[in-house]
């Protein structure tokens, strides 16, 4: 069954147009997505993307990422993606909005322009309580914040996010009181 996305204006508001996923990625239309970061006790949960993903195969990414389906809110998408990808049931109040960003990935015929809403979940979940979607993810792994920050700063291969993206997540989390800045500086 094909997926459909709302086409968005640069400010993230819907244009009123809806388009099928493949056409959106062929034409490079701006559409919605979510990133859900899960941080606990100085550790950040990352998923390793499957080897056959259209973009960033075999690379580590935020705990959950995904598109916002046509007619769906970003909170609904974040809850759905988290449930589907890592079997973690969230309530809307557990999602802390951090910021919006526009992400562009161009690889071959794949052109993905996303208006991305970024959320943080401060959760004491244990890896042994999670199950992940095998077709999408090959591994879940906790990284120490300091270690991940250093790897990204040194541009180590195998990660989807940049150093600047990760620092922005940490800064926003500290600004809303979900992370002490001293724990990651």
Higher pLDDT, 119 or 1: 119
Output the furthest CA–CA distance in the chain (Å, rounded): 47
The tens digit of pLDDT for each residue in 131-167 reads 888 888 999 999 999 999 999 999 999 999 999 999 9
pLDDT of 102 > 90? The answer is yes
Q: Quick check: pTM over 0.95?
A: no
Distances, alpha carbon 8 to alpha carbons 32, 111, 133, in Å: 7, 15, 28
Mean pLDDT for the stretch of residues 50-75: 94
Specify the pLDDT at position 181: 67
Mean pLDDT for the stretch of residues 50-63: 91
Specify the pLDDT at position 54: 80
| Domains with residue ranges and CATH for the chain | 4-183 (3.90.79.10)
The tens digit of pLDDT for each residue in 4-23 reads 999 999 999 999 999 999 99
Specify the pLDDT at position 157: 96
Mean pLDDT for the stretch of residues 17-39: 96
């Amino acid at each position: 069954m094909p997926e459909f996305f709302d086409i968005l204006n640069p400010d993230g508001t819907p244009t009123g147009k809806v388009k099928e996923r493949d056409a959106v990625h062929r034409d490079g239309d701006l559409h919605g997505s979510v990133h859900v970061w899960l941080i606990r006790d100085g550790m950040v949960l990352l998923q390793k993307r499957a080897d056959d993903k259209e973009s960033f195969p075999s690379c580590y990414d935020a705990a959950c990422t995904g598109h916002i389906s046509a007619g769906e809110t970003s909170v609904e998408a974040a809850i759905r993606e988290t449930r589907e990808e890592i079997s973690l049931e969230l309530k809307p109040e557990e999602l802390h909005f951090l910021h919006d960003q526009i992400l562009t990935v161009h690889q071959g015929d794949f052109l993905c322009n996303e208006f991305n809403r970024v959320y943080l979940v401060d959760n004491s979940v244990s890896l042994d309580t999670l199950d992940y979607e095998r077709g999408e993810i090959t591994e879940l792994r906790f990284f120490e914040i300091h270690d991940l920050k250093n790897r990204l700063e040194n541009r180590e291969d195998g990660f989807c996010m940049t150093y600047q993206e990760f620092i922005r997540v940490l800064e926003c989390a500290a600004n809303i009181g979900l992370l002490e800045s001293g724990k990651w500086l």
